[in-house]
Amino acid sequence: MRSAGLRILFVATLGLMSTAAWAQEPQQSSFTALLAKDYEVKAVTLVPLEVAKRATASVKTDTVVVTLQNKQSVAVCYIAFANWAFMNRSSLDTPTLCEVREGSATAANPPPPGTTP
């Protein structure tokens, strides 16, 4: 049951990243640089090794998926569990650790009622 929930969350994260609402190709950034730019951590999800290997066969450890947001921009960071658990500075400073997408709110695609842009 827990495994199914993780799979759904993982698929939802991938779906969110591929939606047509994003205006540009993803950029890359480090986790620490995003925090310095006032991104807020919105979700942290542990992806067990057996699930992570389905997406990328080269994965060798459990993965943590960290989702951040700053206004209309969303970032998703994929971090090895040990690096996240021990806040490994050199890993969190890696400039290719996170994918960043700049969104744009348009009149044709307004945010749902009760949410902030």
Report pLDDT digits (tens) over 57-94: 999 999 999 999 999 999 999 999 999 999 999 999 99
Q: Are 65 and 6 in contact (CB under 8 A)?
A: no
Copy the structure tokens of residue 30: 């480090």
85 phi, psi to nearest 5 deg: -60, -35
Report pLDDT digits (tens) over 85-112: 999 999 999 999 999 998 765 545 566 6
